[in-house]
Amino acid sequence: MQISTNYLFDRATSQMSTLTSDLNKTQTQIASAKQVLNPSDAPNQATAIVRLKSFIERQDSYGKAVDAVQARLELEDITLSSAGDVLMLVKEIGIQANNSTLNSSDRQALGTVLQGLRDQLLSLANSRDVNGNFIFSGSRLSQAAFATNNSGELIYQGDQTQMNVAVGEQRSVAMSRPGSNVFVRVVRSEGGSDTGISFFQSLDDMITAVKSSSRDGMQRSLGETDSLLQGVLLAQASVGTNLKVLEQQGDVLQDTTLTLKTALSNLEDLDYASAITQMNKLMLSLEAVQSSFIKISQLSLFNYLK
């Protein structure tokens, strides 16, 4: 069987071209530290890498949502804690004012103190977050939760919307609660009928009762203060529960992200030791082919006749 010179040249050229291409690819992999340089090199592996990156980005997005909601709820928790403390003072002063040893002047002074505490509670009810949004207005973020209407009555002007934020796959947490669910109304029984009295109206009536030394009014207000305090404490307990859920969800997201990044690393990151070994093998093979090609290209019939 005769092998033509063109065949030998073509075969050597093809081998050198293939080895050079493989060597360039390996060197590029080492430079980029990635296994897959182009999706066409390993379509299934490239698809898996894209899918994992998408999952990781989604976990990062949920993580940011957890941080944002946690910051908002921590502010709400602090606000509710302060409101609870103020209401405890209101109750203590109410008990003190109801003492029969006090005179009218003493109760006037206590009424002034109660007025200051009531205004402090209103300020807390109209608290804003770091973005300037009102915490207890529901979805009406730019509108104060409580304000005086044209009749001079202090009313709740937010809505009943409770905003929920996704913090995981099919997992959401309430970021806020309507002010009417925090600063609750109380039921007042008068003349055989029940009437709903707003949070701040109850406080205003207490102040009036103290200043006017109305024993019945002061006694009634003390009972209503317990209901007002219970509403704030229940809201704070709800916030605390959500904060606990967020803490657990944050741990889940971190564990999930770590697992996904490990899987991504196995698919995407380059094994340097193997890549360098492969590069050295290709370089030796290329050198061998080049050396053989040089020797073959120098052969002629006269070499055989010598």
What does the H/E/C string look like for 84-138?
HHHHHHHHHHHHHHCCCCCCHHHHHHHHHHHHHHHHHHHHHHCCECCCCCECCCC
Q: Which stretches within the chain are classed as H helix?
A: 5-32, 43-97, 104-125, 199-211, 215-268, 272-297, 301-305
Give buried/exposed letters for 198-217 (b at 16+ CB in 10 A, else e): bbbbbbbbbbebbbebbeeb
d(Cα 250, Cα 167) in Å, to the nearest integer? 9
Query: Which has the closest alpha carbon to 157: 125, 204, 132?
Result: 125
d(Cα 35, Cα 130) in Å, to the nearest integer? 45
Sorted by where each begins, the domain ranges of the chain are 54-263
Quick: pLDDT tens for 231-278.
999 999 999 999 999 999 999 999 999 998 888 777 765 655 565 666
What CATH architecture is 54-263? Up-down Bundle (1.20)
0.75 exceeded by pTM: no
Other CB atoms within 10 Å distance of the CB of residue 191: 5
Query: Which has the closest alpha carbon to 198: 272, 148, 250, 260?
Result: 148
- Joined together, the tokens standing for residue 271 give 């094994």
Is 185 a residue whose pLDDT tops 90?
yes
The percentage of residues in the chain with a pLDDT greater than 90, rounded to a whole number, is 51
State the pLDDT confidence band at 304, using cuts at 50, 70 and 90: very low
Residue 239: CB partners within 8 Å, gap ≥ 6?
Answer: 73, 76, 77, 80, 177
The segment with the largest mean pLDDT, out of 5-14, 234-243, 277-286, 293-302, is 234-243
Instruction: Please check whether residue 195 is in contact with residue 205, taking contact to mean a CB–CB distance below 8 angstroms.
Output: no
First to last CA, the chain: 23
Quick: pLDDT tens for 133-171.
999 998 898 999 999 988 888 999 999 988 888 998 888
20 φ/ψ angles, rounded to the nearest 5 degrees: -65, -40
Quick: pLDDT tens for 64-115.
999 999 999 999 999 999 999 999 999 999 999 998 888 999 999 999 999 9
Find the mean pLDDT for residues 121-133. 93
Instruction: Please check whether residue 24 is in contact with residue 38, taking contact to mean a CB–CB distance below 8 angstroms.
Output: no
